[in-house]
Amino acid sequence: MSVLEDRYRSILRILPASYRDSWEDDMVATFLESVRTGDPDEDEFVADYGRPPWSEVASVVALALRLRLGGTEAPPRAFARGEAVRLVALIGLMVNAVTATVGGGVMLWVAGRLPWLPSPPEGTGLAVWHLAGLLWIPAFAALLFHHRQAAQLLALGALVPAAVISAVELAGGAAPFTVATWFALLTEVLVVLALGAFHRDAPPAPRRPWLIAYAVGVAVMPPVVFLAQPIGGQLLLDWAGICSIAAVVAAVAYLAMPGRRSPAWSLALALVAAIVLAQRILTLLDYRMFADGPERSTLTVLGVVETVAVLAATAVLAALAARTMRELPDGSADAGTRASPPGENALPVRPVKTPGRGGSA
Amino acid sequence: MTDPAFFILTALVDEPRHGYGIVGEVAELSLGRVQLKVGTLYGVLDRLVGEGLVELDREEVQQGRLRRYYRLTEPGYQALAAEADRQAANARAASQRLRAWRPANAGGTA
C-alpha cells in the first residue's frame, strides 16, 4: 500500500464502519485514479510523498457529517444523533443571540441612546468585540429562515474577532487570564462546529418555537443579570452560576414531561448539561485566583452546590439519552441497500463479464 | 434532485461506469462546471443505490484493484426522464418570458 493510499484510508476512518465496509475500497480506487497523471515518475513520487488534496478531505468530512449526524433519510439512530447536535447548535446560537441582544441594549444605554433609562455608572466600557458579537443575532435569524450557510458564516464572523481580541488582550496584559472568558470562547467554537450538523439533508429548524424562546430569553435575561450583580459588595451569582441554574431548571421541567420527551432532546440536554457542568467546575478556579476573603468562601460553597446539582441533572439526562438512543434502530439491518458490500448481497449484481458496454439500457 | 445526482444519473444512461469514469463523464457533461470529489460522488451514489435508481453492474479487477461498475435501473431511467422534463419545462418558461421581455426593453411595443 502506498503512503498516499494509507493517508487517504486514514481519512476515510471518520466514516461509519458499516459505510466503509461497503464503499471504502471503491472510494480508494477512484481517488487513486483521480490523482494519476500518466507520467510514471510523477505518479510514483505522488504515491510516496503525496497527500490527499484539501478539497477531497473536505468532501469526506462533509460525507461523514451527513452519515453520522443524519438528516431526514438517515436511519432513526443517526437521525436522532443529528437532531441532538442540531438542537445543541440552536440552543447555543439562541443563547448567544439573546446575550448579544441584551448586550446591544447595554451598548445603546452606555452611549446615551436610551434617554428614558437612568444614566449608566461612570467607566462602563464599550468593548469592540460586542459589535462583532452582534452577528450572533443575524446568524440565529438566518438559521431559522433556512439560510444555513449564511448562518454558519455569520457565526464564524462573530467568533473570530472575539477570539482574536481576547488573545491580543491576554498577550498585551490588558486583561487577566480568566477561565470564564476562555470557556465562553470554547462554547462559541462548539456552537460553530455544531452548526455543521445543519447539512443539506438536515430538516429545517422550526421557526416559531425558537423565536418565542428567543423573545422569552431577551425578556428574562436583564433581570437575571441584574440579580447577578454584587449585592452589598459581594457577588453571589456569576455567568456559570446562571447557566447552572438554567440547566437544572430545564432538566427538571423536561423530566417532568414524559409525554414530550424524545431521544434527540434527551441527548441534546445531556450534552448541554455536560458543557455547563464543565464550565461550572473549571470556573471555580477563577474564584481561587480573583476572589478573596469571605467572598471567595461564599462563591466556592455556592459553586460546589451548583456543581452537584448540574452533575445530578447531567447523569439523569445522560442515562435517559443512552437508554432511548439504544432502543432506536441504527439502520445496520437494512444497510443492504446503502452500506454493505455488493459481494454480500448488498447491491443486486448482474454478472456481465464483457468489459465495455454493459447491456443495461 | 441535486446537480451531482442529475449528472451522475445522466452519466450512466448509455453504459455502466466505474467511479472514476463517472467523475470524468460528469465533468464533460456539465462542461466542467461539476467537478465531483470522491466523498461527494460516493455520498450521492450511496443514496441513489438506496433509492433503487442505480445498481451494481459488475466487478472487474484492473491493475490488482477491484473496479465496480454501476448502471441505471428502470426506476432510475424514469426518475431522470422526469427530472429532465421538469428542467426543460422550466427552461422553456424562462425562454418565453425572456423573448417577450426583449422587445419591450429595447423600446418596442411590449
Cβ-Cβ contacts under 8 Å for A14 (sequence gap 6 or more): A60, A61, A64
**DSSP 8-state assignment for residue B110:** -
For residue B67, which residues of chain A lie inside 8 Å, CB to CB? 29
Is the pLDDT higher at A265 or at B106?
A: A265
**What is the C-alpha separation between A107 and A124, in angstroms, rounded?**
10
Q: Which residue has the cell 462583532?
A: A132
Cβ-Cβ contacts under 8 Å for A348 (sequence gap 6 or more): B55, B56
CATH number of the domain within which B88 lies: 1.10.10.10
Q: Does B39 sit within 8 Å of A56, measured CB to CB?
A: yes
**What is the C-alpha separation between A70 and B98, in angstroms, rounded?**
41
Give the pLDDT confidence score for residue B19 in this predicted structure: 92
**What is the C-alpha separation between B11 and B15, in angstroms, rounded?**
8
Burial A216-249 (b: 16+ CB within 10 A, else e): ebbeebeeebeeeeeeeeebebbebbbbbbbbbe
Give the pLDDT confidence score for residue A181 in this predicted structure: 80
Complex confidence, ipTM: 0.85
For residue A349, which residues of chain B lie inside 8 Å, CB to CB? 56-59
Q: Does A23 sit within 8 Å of B23, measured CB to CB?
A: no
Looking at the partner chain, which of B13, B23, B49 has a beta carbon nearest the beta carbon of A347?
A: B49
Give the pLDDT confidence score for residue A7 in this predicted structure: 93
Distance from CA of B43 to the nearest CA of A (A): 6
Domain boundaries, position B12: 3-102
For chain A, give the longest Cα–Cα distance. Answer: 88
Looking at the partner chain, which of B42, B56, B72 has a beta carbon nearest the beta carbon of A27?
A: B42
Distance from CA of B15 to the nearest CA of A (A): 5
**What is the C-alpha separation between A58 and A26, in angstroms, rounded?**
18
Residue B26 belongs to a domain: yes
Residue B107 belongs to a domain: no
Residue B62 belongs to a domain: yes
Angle at A52 between CA A46 and CA A56, to 5 degrees: 140
Of A17, A15, A2, nearest to A57 (Cα)? A15
Looking at the partner chain, which of B13, B19, B55 has a beta carbon nearest the beta carbon of A29?
A: B19
A-B contacts (CB, under 8 Å): 111
pLDDT in tens, chain A (361 residues): 789 999 999 999 999 888 898 899 899 999 998 888 888 888 888 888 888 999 999 999 999 988 888 887 788 888 999 999 999 999 999 999 998 888 887 777 766 666 665 555 554 444 545 666 788 999 999 999 989 899 999 999 888 888 887 787 777 776 677 788 888 888 999 999 999 899 888 888 899 999 999 999 999 888 887 777 766 666 677 888 889 999 999 999 999 988 888 999 999 999 999 999 999 998 888 777 776 666 677 778 888 999 999 999 999 999 999 999 988 887 654 444 343 444 443 444 433 333 333 333 3
Q: Does A360 sit within 8 Å of B37, measured CB to CB?
A: no
Give the pLDDT confidence score for residue A331 in this predicted structure: 66
Give the pLDDT confidence score for residue A130 in this predicted structure: 60
Q: Does A349 sit within 8 Å of B15, measured CB to CB?
A: no
Q: Does B20 sit within 8 Å of A27, measured CB to CB?
A: no
Q: What is the number of other CB atoms lying within 10 angstroms of the CB of residue A355?
A: 12
Preferred mutation among B35, B37, B51, B78 to probe A, highest tally of A CBs within 10 A: B37
> Percentage of chain B surpassing pLDDT 70?
92
**What is the C-alpha separation between B10 and A20, in angstroms, rounded?**
26
Angle at A76 between CA A70 and CA A82, to 5 degrees: 30
Q: Does B43 sit within 8 Å of A63, measured CB to CB?
A: yes
Q: Does A361 sit within 8 Å of B15, measured CB to CB?
A: yes
Read off the C-alpha cell for A269.
440536554
Residue of A nearest to B76 (CA): A361
Residue B110 belongs to a domain: no
Residue B9 belongs to a domain: yes
The alpha carbon of A191 is separated from its chain's Cα centroid by a whole number of angstroms, namely: 4
Residue B108 belongs to a domain: no
- Domains contained in chain B, number: 1
Give the pLDDT confidence score for residue A115 in this predicted structure: 61
Residue B40 belongs to a domain: yes
| Domain coordinates in residue numbering, chain A | 1-17+24-61, 76-208, 228-330
Looking at the partner chain, which of A60, A338, A349 has a beta carbon nearest the beta carbon of B46?
A: A338
Pairing of strands B54-62, B17-18: unpaired
Give the pLDDT confidence score for residue A126 in this predicted structure: 47
Q: Is the pTM of this model over 0.95?
A: no
A241 to each of A192, A338, A347, B15, how far by Cα in Å? 23, 46, 55, 65
Contact A279, A338 (CB under 8 A): no
List residues of chain A with CB under 8 Å from any CB of chain B. 19, 22-23, 25-27, 29-34, 55-56, 58-63, 66-67, 73, 200, 337-339, 342-343, 347-353, 355-358, 360-361
Give the pLDDT confidence score for residue A224 in this predicted structure: 81
Q: Which residue has the cell 464599550?
A: A126
